[in-house]
Structure formats: structure tokens, C-alpha cells
């Protein structure tokens, strides 16, 4: 697994120890000014999510209490949350002034990044999970996204867009949340990392998905 920069830089924000999740949360909130909140986590009494839904499809890795609107960059609140729940996964609330993202299936994500690298495209951080890869992009509005999608003749159905009102799990993840890591880590230092424009990424992904040998899409499931 690749090095998670948040662990090293998190020491700059640590007072009196902490967990990898706390370090990652503080790095996001203080170093990058990205609003975060803890995921619901897993139930200690049973194998599965701590939320009331027995058929939860993303066990542990979603907001519940607090809700998504509570996401913050306030150091005291972040420390309070993860002091009480040190194993809780770190959730990034996307949109607003925070990064948004475009995600696609994991296998397609690896292929798409290879194509974009070959074309010399500058990418920002990329989060990898066993099922999907998320390319972080500059914040966009739903209106802007709608205009971009309308301008495309065709968009792969495998693409998902994480804008305002959405969230992403940030490495490292707690138990039960899968192997979440930085496929492309944020740049070193404390400033917010470079984020490409969503339109540029969308155009590149649509172009990279065409021309598959069977006439289909390289970004299909």
C-alpha cells in the first residue's frame, strides 16, 4: 500500500497522541481546509454497520450521527469527534469550497489514469477503493455539471459525480470500510493540493472511454 501522507504531516497537528484517523482528519481540516466528519462506523455488537439499517450497502462508511451538514474544519470539533470514536472513518463533505470528484469502477479507473498520463494530463489526488476510484476535482455547482453533461453527446454510465451534498471516504479507513488508499496522494506541504477542472476531466474521461476494440466503452462496468 502507498504511503499515506496524512500520517506523517498529521504529527504537526497532534497533541498528546491520536489515531491514524484523527491524523488524517486534522490534515484535511487544518492543512487543506476540507470539511470532514466521522463515518458511522461498525457496530461492536454485530458484524455490520452501526446504523439502524440491517441491509446497509456501505457499512460503517457513511454519515449518520452527526449528519453530513455537521462537516467542519474546526480543530476542537474534529478532535472531540475522534477522541470519542478513534476508529471512525474520515468522511470528506464534497462541494462548496471543498473538492468535488468524478468516480468510476476500479478496473476502469486504473485504465483511464494510464491513458490520461500518456496524454500528459495533470491530475489531482485520486482515492482508490476495491470497487471505485475517485478523481478529486475543483469544486463545481450542479448547474455547471448539468451544462457540461448536456454538451456531451454521450457519457459513460459508469461515471458518478460527487458534488455538493455528497461525501467521500478519505484514507485511511476504519475496519469494515475496505482498503481505501491514495492512488495519487495530495502534494506535500500544507496548502490545498492542485485540483483540475471538472470539465477537463470529464472531456478526457469521455475521450478515453471511446474506441474500445469491441466498439463498447472502456469505462463500462
* Region of residue 23 (phi > 0: left; psi between -120 and 50: alpha; otherwise: beta): alpha
Q: What is the pLDDT of residues 158-197, one digit of tens each?
A: 899 999 999 999 998 654 445 789 999 997 765 678 999 9
26 to 34, 67, 150: CA distances (angstroms) = 9, 19, 38
Q: Is pLDDT of 61 > 70?
A: yes
170's torsion region: left (phi>0), alpha (psi -120 to 50) or beta? beta
pLDDT digits (tens, 9 = 90+) for 117-155: 988 999 999 999 888 999 999 999 999 999 999 999 888
C-alpha cell at 130: 476495491
Q: Are 5 and 182 in contact (CB under 8 A)?
A: yes
pTM, to two decimals: 0.84
What is the number of residues in the chain?
221
Amino acid at each position: 500500500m502507498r504511503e499515506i501522507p496524512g500520517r506523517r504531516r498529521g504529527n504537526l497537528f497532534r497533541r498528546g497522541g491520536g489515531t491514524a484517523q484523527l491524523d488524517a482528519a486534522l490534515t484535511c481540516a487544518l492543512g487543506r481546509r476540507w470539511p470532514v466528519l466521522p463515518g458511522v462506523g461498525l457496530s461492536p455488537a454485530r458484524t455490520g454497520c452501526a446504523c439502524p439499517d440491517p441491509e446497509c450497502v456501505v457499512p460503517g462508511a457513511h454519515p449518520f450521527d452527526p449528519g453530513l451538514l455537521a462537516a467542519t474544519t474546526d480543530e476542537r470539533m474534529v478532535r472531540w469527534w475522534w477522541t470519542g470514536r478513534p476508529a471512525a472513518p474520515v468522511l470528506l463533505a464534497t462541494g462548496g469550497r471543498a473538492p468535488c470528484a468524478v468516480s468510476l469502477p476500479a478496473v476502469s479507473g486504473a485504465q483511464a489514469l494510464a491513458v490520461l498520463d500518456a496524454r500528459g494530463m495533470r491530475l489531482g489526488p485520486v482515492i482508490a477503493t476495491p470497487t471505485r476510484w475517485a478523481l478529486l476535482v475543483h469544486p463545481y455547482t450542479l448547474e455547471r455539471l448539468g451544462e457540461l453533461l448536456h454538451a456531451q453527446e454521450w457519457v459513460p454510465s459508469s461515471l458518478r459525480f460527487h458534488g455538493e451534498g455528497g461525501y467521500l471516504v478519505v484514507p485511511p479507513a476504519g475496519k469494515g470500510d475496505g482498503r481505501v488508499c491514495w492512488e495519487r496522494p495530495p502534494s506535500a506541504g500544507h496548502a490545498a493540493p492542485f485540483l483540475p477542472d471538472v470539465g477537463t476531466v470529464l472531456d478526457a474521461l469521455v475521450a478515453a472511454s471511446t474506441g474500445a476494440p469491441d466498439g463498447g466503452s472502456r469505462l463500462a462496468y
